[in-house]
Amino acid sequence: MTGRHDFFAAPNLFRPDVSVELARRVALQQYGVDGRVRELGSQQERTFDVQASSGRYVLKVANPAFSDDEVAAQDAALAHLATHAPAVVTPRSVPALDGGSVARFDGPDGPLRARLLTFVPGFPLAQQDFLAPVVVERLGRLAGSVTAALADLDVPGLDRVLQWDVRNARRVCELLAPHLTEAGRRDTVLRAVAAACDRLDRLGPELRIQPVHGDVTDDNVVCTRDMDGRPEPSGVVDFGDIGLSWVVGDLAATCASVLHHEPDRPLAVAAAVRGYAQQVPLSEAEVAALWPAVIARAAVLVVSGVHQGVIDPGNDYAASAQEREWQMLVSAAAMPADVVTAALREALGMVRRVIGLGLTRPLLPDLLSGDVTVVDLSATTDVVGDGRWLQPDIEDVVMAARLPAVARYGEARLTRTALDGRAAPATVALGVEVACDPGTALHAPFRGRLEHTTDGCVLVGPDADLWLTGVQPIDARDVTAGERIGATAGRVGFARVTAQLCTVRGLRPPTFVRPDEAQVWQVVCPDPTALLGLPDDLHVDDVTPQDVLALRSAALAEVQEHYYDTPPRIERGWRHHLVDTGARTYLDAVNNVAGVGHSHPTVTRAVRRQWELLNTNSRFNYASIAEFSARLAALLPDPLDTVFLVNSGSEAVDLALRLAQSFTARQDVFCIAEGYHGWTMASDAVSTSVADNPQALTTRPSWVHPLAAPNPLRGRHRGPDAGPHYIADAIAAIGAGPAPAAFLCEAFYGNAGGIPLPEGYLTAVYAAVRDRGGLCIADEVQVGYGRLGSSFWGFQQQAVVPDVVTVAKAMGNGHPLGAVITRRDVAEAFARNGYFFSSAGGSPVSCAVGMAVLDVLEGERLQDNAARIGAHLRRRFERLAEEVPMIGAVHGLGLYMGVELVRDRETFEPATRETAAICERLLQLGVVLQPTGDRLNVLKIKPPLCMTLESADFFVDRVAEVLTRGW
């Protein structure tokens, strides 16, 4: 066939009728390829997967509506890309036995043409549910590489009239929309496409036209996996839509395919645009045309999918895509083009457009003379402490108490946040709010037309619309600047007026938006504060997380690492939640230090009171040091009755080692590999975790003797019967080594990810150590203080009593507080070294904190809560492990758990890079969690002990989501 396809001349493109058997015969007879044939999905062609001993292929049977030139152009494009974009993996045309590339054969309805192509290995991007920004950017870059390489392709068959060409979108939709039987959907499509095409028509003359693939979508992009386990788009298939079109139309096809992966975050496409623009720089007009083109593309997909279902009812492939395509359109149409354009301009580093309103009159002139209070509703506010920000009416309460009051534009309000939210909540105010007396007069800040809305009015001015709520407007009409337009209306004893500007005419902007979208919304919703006669900079704290990180890097030693590649700025905590400066809350699954929860009012008050009274050193005689020490000692079994108070776990371990060395007059210490005990000289010496110090195992001083890590999954001995072997090895090592001063370990193997010690391990090892005259030290810094649920101390799990116990972390709930508890004779032997004195150790404030923490632990029965929530978490993770092969093991007890992630359950290869990437994704979903263990492949679960059942479910749901939908 010659000529070119014109969709409007022949819009009904059925897939040609070709059976699997016929396809098999064509492959064999015309290409000499004898293989197993299976049909793949296609809208308007037939494609078959051919698996032969010589390799894997795709047989594509062209729709007879396409000319020979159009079919040949596909092969030409593949050959062109092979030389001009060799990094992009594409299929290769396989020559037919007659030397050509096209096989001609007869189908049941007439002559047909087929091509055999090599199969591009990998998986389609569409298979991955969640696409990380880095993946979306790579997709854009790949699409851009193809477009850049095709720019100079010059062959016949490219000038076609395709329904997929965005230039034809309006006509296609008008032609096919009647097939949409649901009137609501039909109207939505037609309205969306009309508005989009009006914009495209205006920009059309400035839009570049060249040969484009036109369909570099998640369906046609083939991926490998990168080191982090994320898709790496590497190949492009299906050149059936190749032709001349707008470059921006080509990019729109790629962007639209991203939308259904995360329909509530349409701005995620900005990453694709950034990637594309790296290969194909975009003009101002192209950036402005992109979103209308995406809407047009989505509309065409919707009507075409429905149309295909009508003319080709057996086409399951087309039918299955319909809901997805609808979602794309809804997602695209939900976002005003001007807002997306602003977002794209930011993403591409283009100059920001600032809209000025010129001179205006005050909106509330009577307020000018008054003393307006700026109410701080940000994440760092001190007006809604002790969790009062969670009270639904708190904004009213706070503002009513400070009349007249103003809440700031651009502020991320703590009062708008939600706990355990999967998505960041809309916290950032796009308007300014004023609380004042009802009946206060409002005047037009500029001339315009006043119209009523359901909840107030809008003043349609020359440069922007001013949306007002909480007002009683005058009748709708044209008004002049300064004219009275109404009065404030109060329902709650005072009036709350919201004033919001928007430069997109007719668009009622949201009052609050998510922090990640705030910057671009602010471009179309400028700051209205000046209309109130107030200075337009009311000092919203705009120090970004990046600013903080930069200052931190400049001022702080780099070895003091931080969590996450791009960490949020966390400035608040409440119970088992953390809050960033965008007022987004995160479930805190890492903070074992805040054992009783963040900002606990009992602890806060105790500290405040004590600071106001006295803080001094432990050489003075004050009650709290005596009471707290007695209370601490009472928590331990006999004969552990003597307390030292210090400031940290490292200090406690250091002191414990020195006590043992003094008592025994020996040096040598046994510990366990993979442990961490602190940073001071001595506590670091017994720390052998290579995750904390890669040189740990080769740089131990000669007095340190690490025993093998008794890890039945990865250690020297494996499986359920490994325990006795580890015990035997440990006893042998202790027997063969020097007479020890001490043996020190965590009584529940914390640092390695919450793995319990083998049954009977401590009984046997303690006996062996004591036989040789050494002391046994239990490091309870992480696992003690109720965290394990079924016991207050870790050593109780093994039914032993140590000679020395170290405690810190949860003991002070984050306040620097540590302790060593031992026998009196051991403590007294330390006198050989002189005094023991720690300036701040056991200070009045520290002791007040320590007692408040114990009060809360006991009063709120948090150990029981750890047992209950821990058991629930364990059950849920074990059930999840049945569905997710990546979960290699679930360790731990109470609220000290480890979920070990592996690449392969047989080899147990640790999924180290993936675990880090998974934690990054979890952060976006509202969960703070970190990897641990020597291979950094264990999700370390150690939340504050006050975690609720609802939060526990939220937590597992999010981990499940990431493990099943991708990261």
| Of 44, 415, 650, 865, the one binding ligand PMP by CB under 6 A | 650
Asked whether the beta carbons of 107 and 16 are under 8 A apart, the reply is: yes
Q: How far apart are CA 257 and CA 324, in angstroms?
A: 9
Angle at alpha carbon of residue 661, lines to 660 and 662, rounded to 5° = 90
Among residues 81 and 744, whose Cβ is nearest to ligand PMP?
744
Shortest approach of ligand PMP to residue 779 CB, angstroms?
5
Task: Give how many residues touch ligand PMP by CB under 6 A.
Answer: 15
CB 719 within 8 A of CB 712: yes
Place of tokens 């055999």: 116
- CA–CA distance, 526 with 508 (Å, rounded to integer): 14
| Residue 678 engages ligand PMP in binding (rule: CB under 6 A) | yes
Q: How far is the CB of 673 from ligand PMP (least distance, A)?
A: 14
**Using CB under 6 A, which of 164, 521, 676, 748 touches ligand PMP?**
676
- Residues in CB range of 757: below 8 A, 6 or more apart: 710, 745, 747, 748, 749, 797, 798
| Cα 454 from Cα 452, distance rounded (Å) | 7
Q: Please enumerate, as own/partner, the contacts of 313-318 that have beta carbons within 8 Å and a separation of 24 or more.
A: 315/15, 315/41, 315/43, 316/41, 317/41, 317/42, 317/43, 318/41, 318/43
Quote the least distance from Cβ 680 to ligand PMP, whole Å.
8
Neighbouring residues of 133: CB distance < 8 A, sequence distance ≥ 6: 268, 271
Nearest-approach distance from CB 806 to ligand PMP, in angstroms: 7
Specify the residue, 143 or 778, whose C-beta has the smaller distance to ligand PMP: 778
**Rounded least distance, CB 593 to ligand PMP, Å:** 8
- Rounded to a whole number of angstroms, the minimum distance from the CB of residue 811 to ligand PMP is 10
Q: Choose which of 677, 705, 921, 958 interacts with ligand PMP (CB under 6 A).
A: 677
Least separation, in Å, of the C-beta of 816 and ligand PMP? Answer: 8
Closest among 795, 815, 738, 803 to 777, alpha carbons compared: 803
Question: Which of positions 772-801 make contact with ligand PMP (CB under 6 A)?
Answer: 779, 781-782
The site map against ligand PMP for 599-638 (x = CB under 6 A) is ----------------------------------------
> Which of 46, 70, 78 has the alpha carbon at shortest distance from 59?
46
**Closer by beta carbon to ligand PMP, 745 or else 765:** 745
Please identify, using beta-carbon distances, which residue of 223 and 781 lies nearer to ligand PMP: 781
Element (H, E) at 651: helix 649-664
Closest separation in Å from C-beta 650 to ligand PMP: 3
Residue pair 426/509 in contact (Cβ under 8 Å)? The answer is no
Q: Is 930 a binder of ligand PMP (CB under 6 A)?
A: no
From 284-292, 630-638, 646-654, 824-832, span contacting ligand PMP (CB under 6 A):
646-654
Check if the beta carbon of residue 469 is closer than 8 Å to that of residue 456: yes
Closest distance to ligand PMP from the beta carbon of 700 (Å): 17
Q: Please state the closest distance from residue 782 (CB atom) to ligand PMP, in A.
A: 4
Q: Give the C-alpha separation, 133 to 878, whole Å.
A: 31
Phi, psi of 327 (to 5 degrees): -60, -40
Give CA separation, 596 vs 115, 386, 848, 865, in Å.
Answer: 68, 14, 15, 11
Exactly one of 243, 486, 649, 774 binds ligand PMP (CB under 6 A); that residue is 649
Neighbours of 438 (CB within 10 A): 16
- Which of 135, 197, 653, 881 contacts ligand PMP by CB under 6 A? 653
Neighbours of 467 (CB within 10 A): 25
Least spacing, CB of residue 873 vs ligand PMP, in Å: 20
- Residue 921 vs 940, nearer CB to ligand PMP: 940
Of the candidate spans 192-200, 427-435, 674-682, 785-793, the one that interacts with ligand PMP by CB under 6 A turns out to be: 674-682
Contact by Cβ (8 Å): 69, 4: yes
Nearer to ligand PMP, 442 or 672 (CB): 672
With respect to ligand PMP, which residue has the nearer C-beta, 289 or 820?
820
Residue 157 touches ligand PMP, criterion: CB under 6 A: no
- Enumerate residues 6+ apart whose C-beta is below 8 A from 465: 458, 459, 501, 502, 503, 505, 506, 507
Q: How far is the CB of 687 from ligand PMP (least distance, A)?
A: 8
Segment interacting with ligand PMP, rule: CB under 6 A, options 29-37, 140-148, 250-258, 642-650:
642-650
Contact between residue 669 and residue 738 where contact means Cβ atoms under 8 Å apart: no
Per-position x/- string for 525-564, each x denoting binding to ligand PMP as judged by CB under 6 A, each - no binding: ----------------------------------------
Q: Give, in order, the Cα–Cα distances in Å from 920 to each of 131, 132, 177, 227, 957.
A: 13, 10, 43, 15, 16
Considering only the stretches 231-239, 410-418, 508-516, 670-678, report the one whose residues sit in contact with ligand PMP under the rule CB under 6 A: 670-678
Does residue 648 belong to the site contacting ligand PMP (CB under 6 A)? yes
**Region from 95-103, 619-627, 675-683, 948-956 binding ligand PMP, contact rule CB under 6 A:** 675-683
In the complex, the smallest distance separating the C-beta of residue 781 from ligand PMP, rounded to whole angstroms, is 4
Find the shortest distance in angstroms from Cβ 701 to ligand PMP. Answer: 18
Question: Cβ closer to ligand PMP: 746 or 914?
Answer: 746
> Hey, is 913 helix, strand or coil?
helix
> Is 808 an interacting residue with respect to ligand PMP (CB under 6 A)?
yes
The smaller minimum CB distance to ligand PMP, of residues 305 and 678, is found at: 678
Say how far apart CA 582 and CA 544 lie, in whole Å. 10
Least distance in angstroms from the C-beta of 193 to ligand PMP: 59
- Comparing CB distances to ligand PMP, the nearer of 113 and 677 is 677
| 249 versus 794: smaller Cβ distance to ligand PMP | 794
Count of H-run helices and E-run strands, the chain:
25, 39
Angstrom CA distances, 2 to 67, 68, 72, 106, 799, stand at 5, 6, 11, 18, 88
Contact pattern for ligand PMP over residues 723 through 752, marking x by CB under 6 A: -----------------------x---xx-
Q: How far is the CB of 652 from ligand PMP (least distance, A)?
A: 7
Query: In angstroms, rounded to a whole number, what is the distance separating the alpha carbons of residues 171 and 743?
Result: 81
Please say which residue, 70 or 684, places its beta carbon nearer to ligand PMP: 684
The residue behind tokens 């854009």 is 140
> Are the C-beta atoms of residues 952 and 869 closer than 8 Å to each other?
yes
Binding site for ligand PMP (CB under 6 A): 648-650, 653, 676-678, 746, 750-751, 779, 781-782, 808-809
